[in-house]
Chain A
Amino acid sequence: MIARSRRFSELLLVVLAAIITAGAYTLTALGRTASLPANIGPFLGVVLALLLVPHLANRVFAPGADGTLLPIAALLNGIGYVVIARINPDLAAKQAGWTIIGVGAYVATLVIVKDVRELSRYKWTAAAFGVSMLLLPFVPGVGRTINGSRLWIRAGGFSLQPGELAKIALAVFFAGYLVERRELLAMATWKVGPLYLPEPRHLGPLVVAWMMSIGIMTMQKDLGSSLLFFALFLVMVWVATERTSYAVIGSILFLIGAYGAWTQFSHVQTRVSIWLDPWADPAGKGYQIIQGLYAFAGGGITGTGPGLGDPTRIPEVQNDFIFAAIGEEYGLVGGTAILIAFMLMAGTGLRIALRADRVFEKLLAAGLTAIVAIQAFIIIGGVIRVVPLTGVTLPFVSYGGSSLLANYILLAILVRISNSTAEKNGEVVRRRKKGAPIDPAFEATTAVPVVPS
């Protein structure tokens, strides 16, 4: 019954997300040309179809999974599409294509990954995949430098950002690694002040992760990804070992690394000085962020209205600055809605992690959730000047194929974890074919109450 009601509310919420998307699309067309879009009927149809596919996939492959993740992602994806379509119709067509691919990847992930714990067996493969994805842009002939960051590969007419996929692979690796080592890492032998410190030799992985993130920062000139990877690692180590000392030491290490990078690298200094005072160079380095701030100011509380703002004055508005376009045309109200959507997604992800009682699933769910939430914080915070601006995409919203693809895969894994917990808790009642044998594992777990650990 619980599973069925989850699927029913998911259906309602998905339809609601489709209606909101179509409504925003219509209002944008009204705002731009004062006429209804000619293709609104087919548009609504395609959006609904696109969202019903993963919903049906959930019904078949993950009937007990949480019912809010998919609708939230659908809403973010839909609003993002509408804003991109308003900024640049050519990109919108590509984004629509990538959404279809993303939804396909979502379904494929649900089909292929029957049990998330299987992934832990491939943790070293995942590590190798993740690192090679990070290094791929440096392979001559394949890698591309765009906007000063070497994050891209180009193959067959498509630009891809392999780092987006790397973050999932690394989350899988960290989860698998920490499941094995967490007890060892948690052993504290030193006591320094209020902190229990792990033995120095167990600090090795921490140092490796730290060096990796510093490497990304300096070689790829990608501050956002660097921060994201290290934050992901810290969160997972901290959750796994239950040792605050790791978080503290890690944060200190990161600050040292960041300070070092700031003293050594001009691109880091530039980012920081723009953050502190964008008006020092309003027509040059500060231009993008200033135009973003003006967009927010122009939007005010209720926004200019979809299609009635002037977001294209902001360079790269479809990528990093898409939140500024939303802030301008949908106002504080719309921007807050996006923030709430990410908070709900983070909350749901962490609830999935809480409910999961297998350590690997717990860690992986926490890590994947942290990726989405921290990435959203880094880019939104960068655009509105809470933190220095670093180029990462806003998950599900920004234009970008790799990002959409990776985030849909990430979503599918979360949904899979959620479903397996539900099945374990007996929240899924499978219709048994007549005469089919009772699944002993399933029967055995149905009555076991779950006590949160």
Chain B
Amino acid sequence: MNRQLRRLAVGLMACFVVLFVQLNFLQVVNANALKRRPDNTREIIRDFTRARGTIYSADNQVLAQSIATDDKYKWQRTYPLGDLFSHPVGYFSLKYGTSEVENVFNDVLTGRTAQQELRDLGNLFDAKVNTGDVYLTLRADLQQVARDALGDLEGSVVLLDPRTGAIFAMWSNPGFDPNLLASHNLAKADGARALYLLNKEQQPLLARAYQERYMPGSTFKVLTSAIALDANVVNEVSDFPAARAWTPPLTQTPIRNYGGELCGGTFRRVFTVSCNIPFAQTGVDLGATEMVAGVDRFGFQEPVPIDLPGAAASFFGTVADFDQDDPRLAQSSFGQNAVQGTPLHMAMAAAAVANGGVIMTPHVLSETRDSGGSVLTRYDPKPWRTAMKKSTAETLTSFMTDVVNNGTARCCMKLANGMQAAAKTGTAQLRGPTEPGGESSHAWIVGFAPAKDPTVAFAVFVKATPEVTAGVGGGIAGPVARTLVDAALAVGS
């Protein structure tokens, strides 16, 4: 009998070991997968009733903080600057969860990173809060300047450091007020969200600066030029005879310059005054394979690795798309047809020129700190892509300087204190004057400053409206960029 009893003991022990193993699977191995299941609202409610760290701008403004309340959720998330940081910071809502910085850095803010939990072990017996604070590279002062400069125009402004990828300002008009969505009054939050969603044309809830893409127009010539210069298909002095129209192979529809003007000269000249025909020809000369490989070096066709969720991928087209379709390749080569870029990505293309050809990974995180103020993690700048040769970047810098001094941006990019900017304008024609609905075009400007040793790169995108269409890219977007760059250089960032 004792032998059976001993075996029984072993058997029961085996049963409990099985329980122990499964418990480990539930609580350790598969815990995160279970937490992330869409029908699991436990974490949201738990986080919602807890203290949450503060989000600061680089100039130490509070962008988001939790304030103790008397209601059952105990904490109210507030955004002191209202809609100014609606997109990069996002919201923290009981019903709609989290977005943007609030989403990506949720674990830090709630104190749930492994590092914080480890530190928290030492604080088992005091009531210290374990939340973490997030410090962004975004500056509230520059964000405000960007917002004021854009005014009522619909569009996006991105300002970043080409040397590190740190984003200083990223504003899209219209934004939304995250305070409304974070309201504990769920009916009020519902109403606000429904109203924002109703505005399908402008999509205020969408961080359009990097989650939406638009036809880039002539700003795309920065990419085509870089690819062509790198491949030695053209050089500074390559001559393009003046022409009003050029008909690519396999079509009868001619390509015209902006406004049907007669336009030609050296490569430097056609870049400065932004002729279309030379770039259409250059693109066709390069061929689809070369062009697609070239835009891929700029990171086109894939989501930008920004530390925010849901980045859109800029689009050019695949080699197959251009097979037997030289007209499309020709139009795409000056940023028309199906080409689309996010405002952030276009700023990064300018930053590539500014940074000797290397695109740094864009980011909004500066550092995270624990509730005691000691640094948990610090963002370490890292290169993303090498878009062009250093010599090509130097050539393009001088081209873009010419654009500002005696080209399409002559009107409006003269900086304060004699600083020299480099830029490229764009007017992306969505519809020609003869098409149904009438003429419609976006206005763009991308660039950087100072031209020598640049510290900021920018993109200003203004969405097509009748007023925008009536002007040219540089004239609409240029003043916005100039105001912002002046402010940025003044704060010495």
Contact = CB atoms under 8 A, between A and B. Distances in A.
A240 interface: yes
Interface string A345-371: 011001001100001001100100010
A386 B24 CA distance: 12
A282 B39 contact: yes
B43 A373 contact: no
A332 B39 CA distance: 23
Contact of B5 (A283, A302, A332, A366): A366
B46 interface: yes
Contacts of A380: 19
Nearest to A299: B27
Contacts of B37: 294
Nearest to A452: B2
Interface string B298-340: 0000000000000000000000000000000000000000000
Residue of A290, A362, A363, A384 with most chain B CB atoms under a 10 A cut-off: A384
Interface residues of B, number: 34
Contacts of A269: none
A177 to B, nearest CB: 16
A293 interface: yes
Contacts of A239: 1, 4-5, 8
Contacts of A362: 1, 5
Contact of A384 (B4, B19, B28, B45): B19
18 contacts: A239-B4, A239-B8, A297-B35, A300-B31, A301-B27, A310-B46, A327-B26, A331-B27, A339-B16, A339-B20, A342-B16, A362-B5, A370-B12, A374-B15, A377-B12, A381-B18, A384-B26, A386-B18
B46 A300 contact: no
B34 A366 contact: no
B8 A370 contact: yes
B3 interface: yes
Contacts of B24: 332
A380 B17 CA distance: 12
Contacts of A299: 27
Nearest to A327: B27
Given A235-B8, A347-B9, A354-B6, A298 B19 contact: no
A346 B9 contact: yes
B490 to A, nearest CB: 48
Nearest to B9: A350
A293 B26 contact: yes
Given A331-B27, A343-B13, A386-B22, A350 B8 contact: yes
Contact of A313 (B20, B27, B42): B42
B5 A354 contact: yes
B23 interface: yes
A196 interface: no
A295 B42 contact: yes
Contacts of B32: 297
Binding site of B, secondary structure by majority: helix, strand, loop or mixed? Answer: helix
B116 to A, nearest CB: 13
A343 B4 CA distance: 17
Interface string A375-386: 001001100111
Interface in B36-78: 37, 39-40, 42-43, 45-46
A296 B19 CA distance: 13
Nearest to B43: A298
A335 interface: yes
A98 interface: no
A283 B41 CA distance: 13
Contacts of B39: 282-283, 290
B30 interface: yes
- By secondary structure, the A interface counts as helix
Interface string A233-252: 00100111010000000000
Contacts of A240: 1
B42 A294 contact: yes
Contacts of B35: 294, 297-298
Contact of A353 (B5, B23, B28, B34): B5
Contacts of A373: 12, 15-16
Find the residue from B4, B6, B32 having the highest chain A CB count within 10 A: B4
Contact of A304 (B18, B22, B46): B46
A313 B40 CA distance: 11
A244 to B, nearest CB: 9
Nearest to B10: A350
B187 to A, nearest CB: 23
Contact of A242 (B1, B6, B16, B26): B1
Given A297-B34, A298-B46, A354-B2, A385 B27 contact: no
A39 interface: no
A335 B2 contact: no
A307 to B, nearest CB: 12
> Considering residues A300, A331, A347, which has the most beta carbons from chain B within 10 angstroms of its beta carbon?
A300
Given A335-B23, A453-B1, A453-B2, 13 more contacts: A282-B39, A290-B39, A294-B42, A297-B32, A300-B28, A300-B31, A313-B42, A332-B23, A343-B13, A347-B9, A373-B16, A374-B15, A377-B19
A421 B99 CA distance: 68
A344 B374 CA distance: 45
Nearest to A340: B16
Interface in A98-156: none
Given A235-B8, A386-B22, A301 B28 contact: yes
A294 B1 contact: no
Contacts of A270: none
A445 interface: no
B8 A366 contact: yes
